Structure 1
Amino acid sequence: MNIMADAAIVQNCYVVTDLEKACARMHAMFGIGPFVGGAETVLTEHRYRSKPAPPIRFRGVFAQSGDLNIELVEVLSTGPSAFHDMFERGQQGFHHTAVFCEDYELQRDAWVAAGFEVASEFTSHVAGRVCYIDTRNPLGHMVELYPPSADLRALYAQVRQMSARWDGRDLIVPR
């Protein structure tokens, strides 16, 4: 099965219980930083397993590790979502990989046609329409699909540049 032949994994995301502690731990373990972001974000027009659902509220940051973007997410909302499918409140761990799609809807529908369910789909103020495909069986995690968003690619470039110039002082910096 080859659903996304030319797609490159651009991000690994971890759900964390305390964003500041997780940034400090990732820096201590892997030397990465700075972590960009940290403000509360709301993902609107949320559909959970094809049904309308409350928005997802979270705090998140992006960092760079070589060519890979790292996202840390502290989920604040309690409603159903792809995040809560994997981690109950108070739990943390690896949640998803992310890929850019040249044709978001075509790629999303290809995953569904291959037997995978869209766990959560929502609108992000940076990327537009985004979804998590439930690939826990066979991968053990979700796959996030991005549309071809210039704003999101610019954010990734900003994080990469900030990482290259980082002086090691401020671990978490606002966007």
Structure 2
Amino acid sequence: MSDPLAHFPVRQIAYFTNDVRAAAARHAALYGSGPFFVSEHIPLRRADYRGRPGTLDHSSAYGQWGALMVEFVQQNDAGASVFRDLYPSGGEGLHHIALIVDDLAAAAARFEAAGMPCALHAEMMDGFPFLMMDGVARYGHFVELYEGTATLTGFYDFVARAAEDYDGREPVRDLAA
């Protein structure tokens, strides 16, 4: 069986941090990435962790870094999660890469068949699902999967367009509701 990552281009790299705004500002200053758009306390309709219903309060900052979107994510509550799996006591670092797939169930099955179970099955309030596959043993990080809906690809396009003429000013911005 081929490696599941061989079938999909990486669209995003995500880092876990204790402060998304500070991490985004630091990244922008070091690498010229951005601007970063922050969404605080992202509401989820569903956040099943390792097959059990749960909750997840998290915030994210999204920016462009060359051809990739870069995300900084922080967990705002102390509950068990895919973030605490890698960083249980306040650590920070690479957490996951994200792939846009045509068929979420088929892609998840491909990862599961390769020994990478679904560690998080989440849904946004509008029902948009995303999965975190546990690729830690193989890759050292999780793999996020979601389908390329118009809303999602539109958001990726919005972030990429903002970077085209980015002059380094206002590196961290609130994402408009």
Q: TM-score, normalised by structure 2?
A: 0.91
Cα deviation for residue 2 of structure 1 reads 3.1
Partner of 1:110: 110
Cα deviation for residue 127 of structure 1 reads 7.8
Matches within 5 A, 1:72-87: 72-87=72-87
| Contact 1:38–1:172 (CA under 8 A) maintained in structure 2 | no
Structure 1 ranges of 4+ moved more than 4 A: none
CA deviation map 1:100-154 (0-9, x unaligned): 1100011112211222111111002478110110011110000000122211110
| Contact 2:45–2:127 (CA under 8 A) maintained in structure 1 | no
Cα deviation for residue 89 of structure 1 reads 4.2
Partner of 1:10: 11
Name structure 1 gaps, 5 residues minimum: none
Q: Which amino acid aligns with 1:148?
A: G
Cα deviation for residue 39 of structure 1 reads 2.3
Cα deviation for residue 24 of structure 1 reads 1.8
CA distance in 1, matches of 2:12, 2:126: 16
Name structure 2 gaps, 5 residues minimum: none
Moved more, 66-75 or 19-28: 19-28
Partner of 2:49: 48
SS of corresponding position for 1:173: strand
CA distance in 1, matches of 2:9, 2:127: 17
* Identity across the alignment (%): 28
Partner of 1:23: 24
Q: Which amino acid aligns with 1:107?
A: A
Count of aligned residue pairs for this structure pair: 174
Q: TM-score, normalised by structure 1?
A: 0.92
Cα deviation for residue 80 of structure 1 reads 1.5
CA distance in 1, matches of 2:66, 2:168: 16
| Contact 2:130–2:145 (CA under 8 A) maintained in structure 1 | yes
Matches within 5 A, 1:25-174: 25-53=26-54, 55-125=55-125, 128-174=128-174
CA distance in 2, matches of 1:4, 1:20: 30
Q: Which amino acid aligns with 1:156?
A: Y
Cα deviation for residue 91 of structure 1 reads 1.3
| CA shift in 2, pair 1:4/1:167, >3 Å | closer
CA distance in 2, matches of 1:70, 1:165: 17
